[in-house]
Structure 1
C-alpha cells in the first residue's frame, strides 16, 4: 500500500518508516521537521497540503503519528494543540474518507487516561487501566486534544465507515522524564516496564499490526504497553509494598538492581493492561521487565533506548506549525 506516515521525523516515525517498507509498503513521510524518513515538509493542520499529498502520492492508507506532546505544553499555547492534534487529525480523516480508504491508524496516548487524582496516586491501590477505564478526565491540553481526536476517529467510522484503530501508546520516549527526577533515567525506565512503558520498536510493530487488521476490526481502541506481570488482585499490595510484589514475581530482581546501584519502586500507583491488544490484534510486546532483568544478569546492553540529550526534531527546526 501507499501509506502516508505523519510525524515521520519523530522518535516513532524514524522506526516505523523502515518497518513499513520492510513489509512491502511505499511510505510518504510528512513532518514539519526534516528527517531521513520525511519526504514532505509541512503541517497536518494545512488542509491544502494534505489534499495535494493525497493526490500526488496516491495515498491508500494513513498512519497518523504526528502530534504535539506533553512536554510541548511548556513551549506552545493551547491553540497550537487544537490546530495540530485535532484539526490536523480531522484534515487527515476527511481526506482519507474522500479518497475511499479502508483503514486509518491513529497514535494516541495512555496519558489521556490519567486524571489528576490518578497522577497524584490518591487511591489506596494501584489503579488498573485498560480500554474500559473511565470516565476519562485528561489533566492537560495534550490529553484533552488527543481524546478529542480519538472521538473524531470514532465519528468517521460511524458516519463514513472508515476503519480506524486507535493505539493508546505507553511511554516510549528516549529522553529524561520532564517531571520526575528521583531516579536515574535508566533506572526509572527499567522500573516502568513493570507497569507503563514499551520500546519504540514494539510500538512500531503494534502500528503495523493495526494497519493489517483495521478493516476486519472496524473501530477499536487498544492500550499498547509491555505486558505487566501483575494481577488485578495485587493492586492494593502494589500500592503498599511494590518491591515485595516484584520480588515475588522476580526473585533475582533485588540483587540485580543492587549490583547496578538501582532501586525498585516502593509503590506503584497505576498499571496499564495491554491484554486486549494481545487478544484482538495478536500483538504482544517483545520487551518486558523479564527481558530487562535478563540483560542486567548477562551484562549486555539494556533493551531500551535512553538518551538524556534527545531533542525533538521540531525543536531543532524551531517550529510547531
Structure 2
C-alpha cells in the first residue's frame, strides 16, 4: 500500500516508517520538519497540500501521528493546537474519504483520560484506566484537542464507513517526565517505574500502529489504550495507592535489590494504572517490553530497554 505517514520526522514516525517499509508498504512522509523518512514538508492543517498528496501519491492508507503535544503548550497558542490537532485531523479524514483511502490509523493519547482529580491523586485507590473510563475531562488544550479529533474519527467512520483505529498511547517519548521528582531526580528511574503502569517503548508503540494498519478493515472502528502490559490487577488498586513498594516487592522479589544497585528507588504511591488488555484481545497487540524485561536487563547488565534523553526536542517545537 501507499501509506501517508504524518509526523514522519517525529520520535514515533522515525521508528514506524521502517516497520511499514519492511511490511512492503511505500511510505510517504509528511512533516513540518525534515527527516530521513519525510518526503513532503508541510502541515496537516494545509488542506490543499493534504488533498494534493492524497491524489498525486495515490494514497491507500493514512497513519496520522502528527500533532502538537503536551510539551508544546508553552510554545503555541490554544488556537494553534486547534488548527493542528483538530482542523488538521479533519482535513486528513475528509480528504481521505474523497480519495477513497482504504484505512486510517490515528495516534491519540492516554493524557486525555487524565482529569485534574486523577492527576492530583485524589481517592483511596489508584485509578484504573481503560477504554470504559468516564467521564472524560481533559485537563489542558492538548487533551481537549485530541479528544475532539477522536470524535471526528468516529463521526467520519459513522458517516462514510472509513475503517479507523484510534490508539491512545501512553508515554513513550524520551524527554524528562514532568513528574519524575516524585520518584527520583534520575529520569531513568521514573521511566523504569512507569513501565509498570503508564509507559511503553517507542518500538512497541510503532508496532501497535503497524498492527492497527493491518487490522483496520476487519475492525471497522476501534479505540484502544496502548501501554506496556501491567502486572497489576484491579484488586491491587487500593494497595498501590497506599504502599506501592510493597505491591512491587510482592510481585518482583528481587526488584528492590536491582534498583538499589542502580541507585534507584520505588515510589511510595502509584496513582493510576493503564490497562491495555482490550488491545491484546481485539487488536492482537501486546507490548514486548514490560517491567519484567527491564528487571531482566538489570540482572544481566544489559542496556536499558528504553531511551532517556532529557535534551530531546520534538520537531514540532520549531514547526
TM-score range, shorter chain: over 0.9
1:301 alignment counterpart: 303
Shift of 1:313: 2.1
Map residues 1-321 of structure 1 onto 2, 5 A cutoff: 1-182=1-182, 183=184, 184-315=186-317, 318-319=318-319
Shift of 1:179: 4.7
Q: Distance in 1 between matches of 2:9 and 2:305?
A: 22
Q: Is the 8 A contact 1:61 1:103 kept in 2?
A: yes
Shift of 1:220: 1.3
Q: Per the alignment, in what secondary structure is the counterpart of residue 85 of structure 2?
A: helix
TM-score, scaled to structure 1: 0.98
Q: Distance in 2 between matches of 1:230 and 1:23?
A: 34
Tell which deviates more after alignment, 175-184 or 224-233.
175-184
Q: Distance in 1 between matches of 2:54 and 2:73?
A: 30
The alignment yields a C-alpha RMSD, in angstroms, of 0.8
Q: Is the 8 A contact 1:28 1:38 kept in 2?
A: yes
Q: Distance in 1 between matches of 2:179 and 2:199?
A: 16
- The answer for unaligned runs of 5 or more in structure 1 is none
Q: Is the 8 A contact 1:82 1:145 kept in 2?
A: yes
Q: Is the 8 A contact 1:71 1:178 kept in 2?
A: no
CA displacement 1:104-138 (0-9 Å, x = unmatched): 00000000000000000111100000000011000
Q: Is the 8 A contact 2:200 2:227 kept in 1?
A: yes
Q: Is the 8 A contact 2:68 2:316 kept in 1?
A: no
Give the 3 Å change call, closer, same or farther, for CA 179–237 of structure 1 in structure 2. Answer: closer
Q: Per the alignment, in what secondary structure is the counterpart of residue 12 of structure 1?
A: helix
Shift of 1:314: 3.1
Shift of 1:265: 1.4
Q: Is the 8 A contact 2:65 2:107 kept in 1?
A: yes
**Superposition misfits of 4+ residues, deviation over 6 angstroms:** none
Q: Is the 8 A contact 1:165 1:220 kept in 2?
A: yes
The count of residues paired between Structure 1 and Structure 2 equals: 317
Tell which deviates more after alignment, 165-174 or 99-108.
99-108
Q: Distance in 1 between matches of 2:256 and 2:226?
A: 27
Shift of 1:176: 0.6
Q: Is the 8 A contact 1:126 1:268 kept in 2?
A: yes
